[in-house]
């Protein structure tokens, strides 16, 4: 008996751990450390760099170039994993850690000393630190020296000007001291490699996070590495952002211009012999997206994968760190949708929410325009003028592009014009248009309805402080409740829905209202944007709802209807409706990933006069 209880308990714990692993709520921003975490498929670049470094002459410096968050640390981690399996000793320093709570002139000495200390730690952990006695004393001497060294003259410490000494300036003592320490470190490395008790053939120093320390400090670290660690048997791999180097050099060369750009580039080339730009354009974004969203509990259908990749391409781009932030915001909103105060608001389409969220994060100005008028194909000259788009000036600029499918409609010209006052938006204007056209082509007549629902949720994670935007976007939880089907139908008519749209809505909700009157277990909630039919005898959150229905579409005229899995009739309804109404090939009726039966807005265009009959059939099946 006790054994059975123990087994059951163990099984419960394992299942809990299993589901915790699969369905996370967020994605960590930590870099990958092993090859099996390589969702972006950068292994081929890691292998190429590894093979190059193993065969390269020394000393040599490889610069992994890319802006913040492009995966430089992850690529270095893959190299480190590979080198630790080979006859290569490694040292990894995070320059940002050495800059915390230190003055500017203390960062470089800390980094230099850390490089030696991390080398020793790494070798000891692998059991390959074999230096003893006099060689160990060399290490201690070098560490002591580097601990008191700075690139600029530090009068109260060593008084050595490394840059001046290395360049032939400074005093003779400085030059002699620098030559001595270089020789000391070179001997130390040589002794480690020549020692027959270990297999080491080369030493690789990884220098990470140079783009997270002040630009001036980053330049000093680079110069110190060049002047002191430029020694045989050593390879240096630097994670670096060229723009950070430029900022650090402005005190020396002035602001970068076309005239002095060569000076900036010459400095960079002097430090780095092998530049390697992070290949973000070739990252396997589809694989990354699918796996990360799956870990967050969202499965992308095969036919939707390309859509999600395009949404990323046209909004956030392929920067892994930005993409993780994007996915975390998406996950947060999906959690909110799951635990709303009630089940009577439209959940909306996942992809529309994903795309609108990309717009909110990447293009706040365009998100503001959407908040004022979600149905963007209706944007016109008057709407543009209201938000500062100077129509005549924009028309002149557009003429320079000649004919283009992306700026031939009035709404597209408004969008393009709205992008021109911001340098980032100006460069990304056609990406904005590509994304908006993607949404229009996918949703067609239901575009406005899906956009309004998505905007409601996307606004939750917005950091925009624009007052009009906050006022325009409906907040989740603020609902208007109607006291019966007739009041709801009147609301639809007053909001401009056509007679046919109102008739279609009544075809479902009038018989459901009769069912509510005849059976006290049923309850209907008519809200502003949608309504639900519930069974009050059911117990548990989310278990009561049997049908949820949005307002009808003003263009498609039909409603989007969710027949919930709680009914226990989803599969039978699905098969019967498809066969009875000849909808076997229709994309307007399907079973969702949540196991609900979905009938899309455009089902009316296929059924026409049979639409009311379908509504009556659904009511009969659910209430019988």
Instruction: Please tell me the predicted confidence (pLDDT) of residue 16.
Output: 38
Q: Which range has the worst mean pLDDT, 360-374, 413-427, 529-543? A: 529-543
Which domain, by its residues, includes 445? 285-472
7, part of any domain? no
Is pTM beyond 0.85? Reply is no
* Confidence label for 475 from pLDDT (cuts 50, 70 and 90): very low
* 350 and 258 in a common domain: no
Least confident of 48-52, 206-210, 437-441, 474-478: 474-478
Question: In this structure, is residue 251 part of a structural domain?
Answer: yes
pLDDT at 218 over 90: no
* Closest to 571 (Cα-Cα) out of 588, 587, 591, 586: 591
| 485 and 422 housed in the same domain | no
Query: Which residue is it, tokens 């014009």?
Result: 417
Tokens of 229: 């660690």
Domain assignment present for residue 564? The answer is yes
Residues 6 or more apart whose CB falls under 8 angstroms from that of 174 comprise 159, 160, 161, 162, 164, 165
Assess whether pLDDT exceeds 70 at residue 570: yes
R_g over Cα of the chain: 32
Three-state DSSP state, 534: strand
How much is the average pLDDT of 541-568?
89
**Same structural domain for residues 486 and 464?**
no
Q: Residue 326: name the closest of 311, 347, 339 by CA.
A: 311
Residue 17 lies in a domain: no
Buried residues in 200-231 as b, exposed as e (16+ CB within 10 A): bebbbbbbbbbbbbebbbbbbbbbbbbbbbbb
Using alpha carbons, list the distances in angstroms from residue 22 to 12, 249, 315: 15, 47, 27
In a domain, 10, yes or no: no
35 in a structural domain: no
Other C-beta atoms lying within 10 Å of the C-beta of residue 390? 14
pLDDT in tens, 156-194: 333 344 444 444 444 444 556 667 777 888 888 888 888
How do strand 234-240 and strand 60-65 relate by DSSP bridges?
parallel
Taking each helix axis from N to C end, the angle separating 447-458 and 320-338, rounded to the nearest 10 degrees, works out to 100
Q: Reply yes or no on whether the pLDDT at 224 is more than 60.
A: yes
% of the chain at pLDDT higher than 70: 82
Taking every pair of Cα atoms in the chain, the longest distance, rounded to a whole number of angstroms, is: 103
Q: What is the pLDDT of residue 155?
A: 35
Domain presence at residue 13: no
Domain final residue pick, 280, 296, 330: 280
Beta bridge partners of 589: 599
pLDDT band at 331 (very low <50, low <70, confident <90, very high): confident
User: What's the number of domains the chain is made of?
Assistant: 3
pLDDT grade, residue 338 (50/70/90)? low
- Domain-ending residue, one of 239, 260, 280: 280
pLDDT at 470: 47
Asked whether residue 384 falls in the same domain as residue 316, the answer is yes
pLDDT band at 350 (very low <50, low <70, confident <90, very high): confident
Give the integer Cα–Cα distance in Å for 12 and 471: 47
CATH number at residue 187: 3.40.50.300
Best CA proximity match to 440, nearest among 472, 471, 470, 409: 409
Residue 465 pLDDT class (50, 70, 90 cuts): low
pLDDT value at 117 more than 90? no
Contact in structure between 299 and 593 (CB atoms under 8 Å): yes
Nearest CA-CA partner of 336 in 463, 475, 531, 532: 475
Q: Let me know whether 605 and 521 are in one domain.
A: yes
SS (H, E, C) 225-268: HHHHCCCCCEEEEEEECHHHHHHHHHHHHCCCCCCCHHHHHHHH
- Which tokens go with 297? 């509990």
213 and 87 assigned to the same domain = yes
Give the separation between CA 461 and CA 450, rounded to whole angstroms.
Answer: 18
Alpha-carbon span 304 to 315, nearest angstrom: 17
Is residue 404 pLDDT above 70, yes or no?
yes
Whether the pLDDT of residue 230 is over 90: the answer is no
Task: Compute CA distances 8 → 18, 22, 323, 543, whole Å.
Answer: 15, 21, 40, 27
Q: How far apart are CA 465 and CA 274, in angstroms?
A: 44
Following CA atoms 246, 249, 253, 256 in sequence, which dihedral angle do they give, to the nearest 10 degrees? 10
Residues 6+ apart with CB under 8 A from 495: none
154 class by beta-carbon count within 10 Å (0-12 exposed, 13-18 middle, 19+ buried): middle
Neighbour count for residue 479 (Cβ, 10 Å): 16
Instruction: State the Cα–Cα distance between residues 384 and 379, nearest whole angstrom.
Output: 7
Is residue 190 domain-shared with residue 300, that is, in the same domain?
no
Is position 3 within any domain? Answer: no
Task: For the sheet with 234-240, list strands across it.
Answer: 88-94, 202-208, 234-240, 60-65, 274-277
Q: Read off the pLDDT of residues 131-154 as tens digits, 9 standing for 90 and up.
A: 776 666 667 777 666 665 544 333
Task: Among 415, 447, 472, give the residue marking a domain's end.
Answer: 472
Give the chain's length: 624
Identify whether residues 208 and 236 lie together within a single domain: yes
What is residue 346's predicted lDDT score, i.e. its pLDDT? 54
Answer yes or no: do 244 and 325 share one domain.
Answer: no
Number of C-beta neighbours around residue 339 at 10 A:
8
Q: Is residue 273 domain-shared with residue 151, that is, in the same domain? A: yes
Other beta carbons less than 10 A from residue 299's beta carbon: 11
Query: In whole angstroms, what is the distance from residue 624 CA to residue 616 CA?
Result: 12
Q: How confident is the model over 431-454, as pLDDT tens digits?
A: 999 999 999 999 887 888 788 888
Q: What is the pLDDT of residues 76-103, one digit of tens each?
A: 999 999 999 999 999 999 988 888 766 6
Q: Are residues 144 and 63 in the same domain?
A: yes
Indicate if 307 and 276 belong to the same structural domain: no
* Residue 152 to residue 391: CA distance in whole angstroms: 56
Average pLDDT taken over every residue of the chain = 81
């Amino acid at each position: 008996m006790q054994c059975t209880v123990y087994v059951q308990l163990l099984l419960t714990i394992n299942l809990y751990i299993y589901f915790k692993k699969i369905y996370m709520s967020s994605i960590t921003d930590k870099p990958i450390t092993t090859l099996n975490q390589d969702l972006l498929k950068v292994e081929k670049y890691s292998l190429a760099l590894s093979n190059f470094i193993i065969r390269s002459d020394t000393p040599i410096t490889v610069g992994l170039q890319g802006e913040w968050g492009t995966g430089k640390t992850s690529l270095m981690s893959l190299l480190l994993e590979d080198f630790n399996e080979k006859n290569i000793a490694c040292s990894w320093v995070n320059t940002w850690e050495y800059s915390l709570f230190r003055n500017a002139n203390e960062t470089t000495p800390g980094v230099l000393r850390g490089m030696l200390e991390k080398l020793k730690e790494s070798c000891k952990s692998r059991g390959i630190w074999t230096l003893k006695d006099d060689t160990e004393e060399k290490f201690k001497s070098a560490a002591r020296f580097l601990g008191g060294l700075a690139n600029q003259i530090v009068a109260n410490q060593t008084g050595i000007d490394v840059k001046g000494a290395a360049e032939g300036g400074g005093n003779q003592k400085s030059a002699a001291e620098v030559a001595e320490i270089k020789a000391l470190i070179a001997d130390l490395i040589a002794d480690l490699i020549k020692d027959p008790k270990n297999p080491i053939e080369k030493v690789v120093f990884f220098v990470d996070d140079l783009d997270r320390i002040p630009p001036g400090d980053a330049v000093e670290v680079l110069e110190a590495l060049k002047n002191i660690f430029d020694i045989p048997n050593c390879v240096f791999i630097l994670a670096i952002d060229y723009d950070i180097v430029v900022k650090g050099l402005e005190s020396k060369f002035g602001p970068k211009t076309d005239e002095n750009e060569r000076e900036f580039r010459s400095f960079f080339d002097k430090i780095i012999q092998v530049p390697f730009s992070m290949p973000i354009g070739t990252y396997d974004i589809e694989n990354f997206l699918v796996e990360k969203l799956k870990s967050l509990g969202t499965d992308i259908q095969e036919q939707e994968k390309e859509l999600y990749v395009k949404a990323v391409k046209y909004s956030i781009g392929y920067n892994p760190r930005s993409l993780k932030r994007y996915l975390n915001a998406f996950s947060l909103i999906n959690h909110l949708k799951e635990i709303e105060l009630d089940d009577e608001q439209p959940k909306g389409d996942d992809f529309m929410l994903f795309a609108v969220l990309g717009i909110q994060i990447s293009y706040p100005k365009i998100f503001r325009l959407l908040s004022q008028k979600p149905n963007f194909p209706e944007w016109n000259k008057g709407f543009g003028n209201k938000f500062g788009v100077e129509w005549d000036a924009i028309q002149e600029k557009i003429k320079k592009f000649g004919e283009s499918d992306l700026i031939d409609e009035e709404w597209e010209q408004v969008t393009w014009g709205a992008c021109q006052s911001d340098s980032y938006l100006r460069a990304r204007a056609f990406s904005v248009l590509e994304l908006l056209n993607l949404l229009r082509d996918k949703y067609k007549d239901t575009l406005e309805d899906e956009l309004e629902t998505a905007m409601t949720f996307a606004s939750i994670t917005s950091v925009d402080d624009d007052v009009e935007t906050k006022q325009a976007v409906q907040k989740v939880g603020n609902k208007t409740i109607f006291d019966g089907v007739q009041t709801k139908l009147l609301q639809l008519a007053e909001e401009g829905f056509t007679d046919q749209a109102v008739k279609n809505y009544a075809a479902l909700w009038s018989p459901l209202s009769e069912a509510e009157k005849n059976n006290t277990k049923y309850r209907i909630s008519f809200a502003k944007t949608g309504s639900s039919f519930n069974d009050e005898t059911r117990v548990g959150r989310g278990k009561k709802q049997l049908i949820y229905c949005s307002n009808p579409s003003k263009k498609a005229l039909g409603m989007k209807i969710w027949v919930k899995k709680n009914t226990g009739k989803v599969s039978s309804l699905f098969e019967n409706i498809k066969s009875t109404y000849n909808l076997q090939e229709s994309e307007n009726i399907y079973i969702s990933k949540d196991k609900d039966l979905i009938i899309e807005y455009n089902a009316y265009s296929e059924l026409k006069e049979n639409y009311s009959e379908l509504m009556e059939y659904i009511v009969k099946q659910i209430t019988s």
